[in-house]
Structure 1
């Protein structure tokens, strides 16, 4: 009987995945190594251009194969030892094996090629990339998932294409305080036996751990995302965390009962400590709530704010418009130079923060409005005279055309576009060209070292309108 069971187990095991030897031709826009096999594209995370690698097949479609890197047979001269012990399992930082100068060249090329795809932008000057002064330990916020495997609690990121959590409580990109908090929370969840959410069975309490750090003050705000309101377990966790990591000044609970992949729910409850985290970037102090978006790299964010302020060239009589203003980081910097700044943002919680930040920085010339971007910009045409300066800092998807048209309709003398996606940046700059605005220069910024992402700041000016010389009928010239 036992022999039959053993044979059944053996027969139920999957055969080992076939291993291919692939020549990696280039990195795609996500930093994933790309080659070909049998007429199909092969994508291999962790492989670099010019390498020969051994790859097992994880998924095969009609045109594409997703491979898993097994061995590097012929390494690239630009490969370096990874500073992360979890890099091959996590795959969250696709360039972490690549030497820093090669990372910079990759990002510079991403921006240049995106612009070159549009005839209207081929003459635009692309400045050399601003490299990050701190390539590791720069992330001041983290969104980590809870998981459990064989009874052991994990705190980290989902493995690509799965619900398995890779434990990365010591991520080299995170600020050291984030790693201390993640390790402490993992130990306490294990010790207190708190029910971790299972995304397959849709059961459990703890879903995500969010940490924000103010690097200047070395203080942190922690948010537990749970499936339901819970005071007992979360309060116990918060007290133990505060005891073990006194730098934690705020603990919040966000309730997300949905079964989808959205991190935040609509309700946020304060468990202990301050309601927000006070931070400082450049010359402004900022109050950041648990769910508001804010840049993860303070050093580079400060450089972008300063550049936007420099390019705006505002005078004491000017008006500036900041679209997708978030908690007001750019708007507050501009407000020091002009008569009025109007910030527009869809997220009401961020607008609340922005208004409080204006009061905290004693900048009464800031106004912040919550609502649909296109509608609110159109309304501004009644109160903003031509000649203002407009700043736009949209999400990765860029702007809808009606938003760009509404902005151009304000007839600002200058536009500054801050983008985290070269593709949508180039698309929108081309639309602005059709609307009468020429892109003078673009400044790439390495906001996210070790990853393929690159931030860019573009400066646009009103293109001179072509005026036709008046023609006179023959014999009628004066």
Structure 2
């Protein structure tokens, strides 16, 4: 019988273990299930120490790829360390996952209906929650209203093993600077009359709700993506104000999850872009268009590229909302290839890829385009360093500015912004 390979310890796990073994003073977690949830695995670590660790992660990732950053890495703190998220996704489950404390108690516990977040280690492990300290108190109120309604609706929550059940996901989006709230419920089929009653309940009991929407999906995979969206009551989006822009955010469109930290990221992007030619701008993985729109006032043209149709529609509305007539958007999956209708030349390419980073084909196409400068906004230092090393080695680029912002307090994630310019003659 073959020996099972032990899973390699992650940077986050290693740092937390070392801190605990050293007997360092740890913080008391605000969340009662933080040790079981895994979403905020660094809640016990003092915030100043978290920022140091994140800087180390960026520096270590750079060294792993023989990449030298031009400036010392100092991670700017998030203005809020709790209640900072403007977007949360929760899962329904027919059978809840017990916490470590509950298992240790030896008591016979009810394991029915659950709405909450996933415990690490496998699919279907949903911890039953009463809210989450990462989101606003108003979002917690909406969470409880939906949970109570669903639990007493007579329809079952989704069972990840049998692939049966009605209630699947709850997505809450709230504008930090506007107070607007969107409630999006994903189900396995349409039940408009039932969801209309839910919407009435939500509007009556929660202040600031702008809309209740329903996404219907028959997919058995553990994902809320791909659902057909219908507006049940109100409107299908919220507004948020950020960096001098007013943006529209729908139930499935990407938007930076920490509004206050994102404002600082936009400031850095504009500052870095002002130091290089930026007449023709391309914004890759543009989501709802935030970064590209923030540069539109100083550019002649901005072209955004995004795969999610709903996000692209929101980006186009955001351009109209902010009077940006020099901005256009293209739908394309950059993880599969390079769109043929993308401009063949650009002064500046801004990119904010997913955690997996660039697909090799897309990265090679970017190198072939040879823009004068590339502004990389990365949420994963490891894949960012890998992609930057390729741009330097194969494209002749050199990093000249870098800055890091903590968008995800109490987690090992961090946002790193790097500006690269093309070396003359390369």
Structure 1 residue 161: deviation in Å?
Answer: 2.3
Structure 1 residue 200: deviation in Å?
Answer: 2.1
Matching of residue 339 in structure 1 with residue 300 in structure 2: yes
Computed over aligned residues only, the root mean square deviation of the Cα atoms, in angstroms, reads: 2.2
Matching of residue 418 in structure 1 with residue 405 in structure 2: no
Q: For residue 118 of structure 1, what is the aligned residue in structure 2?
A: 65
Rounded to whole Å, the distance in 2 between the matches of 1:210 and 1:305 is 25
Aligned partner of 1:96 among 43, 46, 50: 43
CA contact (8 A) 1:377 1:407 kept: no
Pairing of 1:20-31 with structure 2 (within 5 A)? 28-29=10-11, 31=12
Cα deviation code 1:136-157 (max 9, x no counterpart): 1101111001134537542211
Pairing of 1:194-273 with structure 2 (within 5 A)? 194-273=155-234
Rounded to whole Å, the distance in 1 between the matches of 2:181 and 2:147 is 17
CA contact (8 A) 2:258 2:407 kept: yes
Matching of residue 134 in structure 1 with residue 103 in structure 2: no
Runs of 4+ aligned residues of structure 1 deviating over 3 Å after TM superposition are: 148-153, 191-194, 314-317
Q: For residue 153 of structure 2, what is the aligned residue in structure 1?
A: 192
Q: What SS does the aligned partner of 1:202 have?
A: coil
Rounded to whole Å, the distance in 1 between the matches of 2:328 and 2:43 is 41
Q: Do the aligned partners of residues 245 and 173 (structure 1) sit closer, same or farther apart at CA in structure 2, a change above 3 Å counting?
A: same
Cα deviation code 1:165-203 (max 9, x no counterpart): 212333111122211111121122233333212222222
Rounded to whole Å, the distance in 1 between the matches of 2:290 and 2:85 is 17
Q: For residue 408 of structure 1, what is the aligned residue in structure 2?
A: 367
Rounded to whole Å, the distance in 1 between the matches of 2:163 and 2:361 is 40
Q: For residue 91 of structure 2, what is the aligned residue in structure 1?
A: 145
Relative contact order (alpha carbons < 8 A, sep ≥ 6): 1 or 2 greater? 2
Structure 1 residue 321: deviation in Å?
Answer: 0.9
Structure 1 residue 379: deviation in Å?
Answer: 4.3
Matching of residue 156 in structure 1 with residue 116 in structure 2: yes
Q: What SS does the aligned partner of 2:210 have?
A: strand
Rounded to whole Å, the distance in 2 between the matches of 1:156 and 1:317 is 44
Pairing of 1:7-406 with structure 2 (within 5 A)? 28-29=10-11, 31-33=12-14, 48-52=17-21, 76-119=23-66, 121-122=67-68, 124-149=70-95, 150=110, 153-162=113-122, 163-313=124-274, 318-373=279-334, 374-376=337-339, 379-381=342-344, 384=345, 388-406=347-365
CA contact (8 A) 1:253 1:270 kept: yes
Rounded to whole Å, the distance in 2 between the matches of 1:195 and 1:233 is 13
CA contact (8 A) 2:149 2:198 kept: yes
Rounded to whole Å, the distance in 1 between the matches of 2:207 and 2:49 is 40
Rounded to whole Å, the distance in 2 between the matches of 1:170 and 1:123 is 40
* Structure whose CA Rg is larger: 1
State the TM-score, normalized to the length of structure 1. 0.79
Return 5+ residue gaps in structure 2 as ranges: 1-7, 96-109
Structure 1 residue 228: deviation in Å?
Answer: 0.9
Aligned partner of 1:456 among 389, 405, 416: 416
Return 5+ residue gaps in structure 1 as ranges: 1-25, 35-46, 53-74, 467-478
Rounded to whole Å, the distance in 1 between the matches of 2:399 and 2:288 is 27
Q: Do the aligned partners of residues 315 and 123 (structure 1) sit closer, same or farther apart at CA in structure 2, a change above 3 Å counting?
A: closer
Q: Do the aligned partners of residues 91 and 379 (structure 1) sit closer, same or farther apart at CA in structure 2, a change above 3 Å counting?
A: closer
Structure 1 residue 422: deviation in Å?
Answer: 0.6
Q: What SS does the aligned partner of 2:152 have?
A: helix
Deviates more, 1:179-188 or 1:369-378: 369-378
Structure 1 residue 241: deviation in Å?
Answer: 1.2
Q: For residue 391 of structure 2, what is the aligned residue in structure 1?
A: 432
Structure 1 residue 245: deviation in Å?
Answer: 0.9
State the TM-score, normalized to the length of structure 2. 0.89
More strand by share: 1
Cα deviation code 1:389-420 (max 9, x no counterpart): 11111111111233223223333222100011
CA contact (8 A) 1:354 1:368 kept: yes
Rounded to whole Å, the distance in 2 between the matches of 1:390 and 1:78 is 44
